Structures are given as C-alpha cells and as structure tokens.
Amino acid sequence: MNAEGYTRREQELSGWSIWLETYRLGDQYFCTISTVDPGARVARAEGPTREDAERIALEKASRWLGQTRRFTVNP
C-alpha cells in the first residue's frame, strides 16, 4: 500500500498553533496533530473519512492542550 492524499496544515487550537497531518492508507484515514513549537505529538486518530479522522484527533488534542497550565513569568 502507498500513503495517499497527504495533507498538512497549520491552525489554532485551544490557544496553541498546531499541525494537522492526514493521509489515507488503504481504506482508513490517519490524522496526527502536533504542536508547531516544539513539535510534540498531541493526538492521533483514524477513521473511514478524512473528516472523521481529523474531527476525532481535534477532539482529543483539544482535551490535552486544554490541560496545559501557563505560569506568569517573573523577571
């Protein structure tokens, strides 16, 4: 099998910039979400359509990213 229809786009989610990478392998679509900086993978999902895979991955990523605490940086 060959990976097909690879796409990669940047968007905002829960206040963070993320990469959304999606491709099809066989009859399944795979989506991986990682933060733009520093590039950590946050969520991964698969589904029968591109929309399904991306929706599930975004839901997971939103939960994880929403838990990230931000601290005030003292000089």
Which CB, 9 or 51, lies closer to another protein? 9
Closest separation in Å from C-beta 17 to another protein? 9
Closest separation in Å from C-beta 25 to another protein? 5
39 counts as binding another protein under rule CB under 8 A: yes
73 counts as binding another protein under rule CB under 8 A: yes
Q: How far is CA 17 from the centre of its chain?
A: 10
